[in-house]
Amino acid sequence: MREQRLLLAGSWIDGEDALLVRSPWDGRVVARVARGGPATLERAAESATRSAGAIAALPPERRAAILEATRADLLARKEEIAAAIVEEAGKPLTLACSEVDRAADTLLASAHVARYPELVARDLGGFASGAGRIALTKRVPLGPVLAITPFNFPLNLVAHKLGPAVAAGCPVVLKPASQTPGAALHLAASLQRAGLPDGALSVVPSRAADAERLATDSRFALLTFTGSHEIGFGLRQKAWERRVALELGGNAAVIVEPDWDDLADAARRIASGAFAWAGQSCISVQRVLVHRDVAQALRDLLVAAAEAIPVGDPSAPETLCGPMIDPANRDRVLTWFASARSAGGKLLSGGAADGSVVKPTLLEEVPEGEPLVSDELFGPGAALSTYATFEEALERANASRYGLQAGVFTCDVAKVRRAWERLEVGAVIQGDVPTWRSDPMPYGGVKGSGVGREGPASAFLEMTEERMLVLR
């Protein structure tokens, strides 16, 4: 069992009590992690406030060097960190290793943003009011940041908060998910070894209620949260006086048109996007909309692809679908499957659990009002349905309170452009599933999927504000 302290402004301390972290796979205790209470969180907030000026004054080159050194340290400890992710999250080993690589990319992109900050010059002489004047605009740090991160990407989604914050020159108080605090603490240690000033970061595992009280704290200029729709918008109501960035849930749709000539490839991608990591991603494929002309062919291929997904022990290199994060979520997912079947949905594959693992599950003809198609499953399940026209597919993909990403399998450029125009999402992915993401890209959603964008360059904008100099 690992023992980990929390990080308070450069010091590793025990906190008020301890959090026992259990493996989702077999329930054993894998780590004992220090947990901070209100007093520790208050000290963290005070430190962030006191150090804001000094952190903002760090030269861009210094910020970039810290991030580059952190990246190198992270990659040097890849096996150790991936093993912690497997233990705490139950994420399959291959995907955990990939997450370390992705976090390294996130830090590299953040370093690039820090090293090459944008300075915009404008000649104001085109208007009578600006005659003879030139304006220069730069970005300056917003101030202390409160960050709250989820269990499902316990390293990379933390890197998406901390990397841009370092690039921007903002101190951070981070509350990681209680199920998976280890990766965040590993990243904090890497940042510290890279030379991050003591006051720039506190990582405080804590009870949700204790951390949420800080959402109303005026000392924080920005609240950045990744997690559920309900909690995210609840925090937004509490933090209405400050800037808020929310990366929330989804029930992503993929559309398959009859002109796509490699249905086997589409089926493999859809199965991976729906069932890898037990579907515990906000951009996991949940709704599969297929044109009626190719519905039977895709159905057969998709069932075969779902049944071919390796399931079981997350420490096995071949596993792609491991355990659900906890028994409550396993039972909820099974209940949704049962509800869909009771309402008339037809089970094509899966539908049951083996211990903590829910088998990859595919259903069709599920009524629109069922949670499986109307809400966020966050589990290894997808609903297949057919459509007659592309416009119908777009309309049905939009029939959701979420709007994170969508995938469109078509070679028709006009249809791709139509999807880009019509789909109410943050990104349309052509020729692939909505689960695809490159870490430097702007990432985020509309409607119930959140506000603001992540990706280092986009998050840098969220964590800074414009300051103008006008020259005569």
Q: Indicate which residues carry an active-site annotation.
A: 247, 282
At position 128, the amino acid (one-letter code) is: A
Long-range contacts of 409-417 (CB under 8 A, 24+ apart): 409/254, 409/255, 409/256, 409/257, 409/260, 409/266, 410/255, 410/257, 410/259, 410/260, 411/259, 411/260, 411/261, 412/257, 412/259, 415/257, 415/390
Separation between Cα atoms, residue 334 and residue 278, nearest integer Å: 13
Residue 19's beta-bridge partner residues? 33
The Cα–Cα gap between 228 and 212 comes to 14
Distance of CA 453 to the CA centre of its chain: 11
Helix (H, G, I), strand (E, B) or coil at 419: helix
**Burial annotation 249-286 (CB, 10 A radius, 16+ → b, else e):** bbbbbbbbbbebeebeebbbbbbbbbbbbbbbbbbbbb
Residue 63 one-letter amino acid: R
Which neighbouring-strand residues pair with 363? Answer: 347, 383
Q: CB neighbours (10 Å) of residue 186? A: 24
Q: What does the DSSP 8-state code read for residue 313?
A: -
Structural tokens at position 144: 């202390």
Instruction: Please give the single-letter amino acid code of residue 455.
Output: G
Q: What is the DSSP letter of 75?
A: H
User: What tokens does 40 get?
Assistant: 């520790």
CA distances from 213 to 6, 18, 142 (A): 19, 20, 20
109: left (phi over 0), alpha (psi -120 to 50) or beta: alpha
What stretch of H or E contains 148? strand 145-148
Distance of CA 327 to CAs 22, 32, 252, 385, 420, Å?
Answer: 12, 20, 24, 29, 39
Helix (H, G, I), strand (E, B) or coil at 226: strand
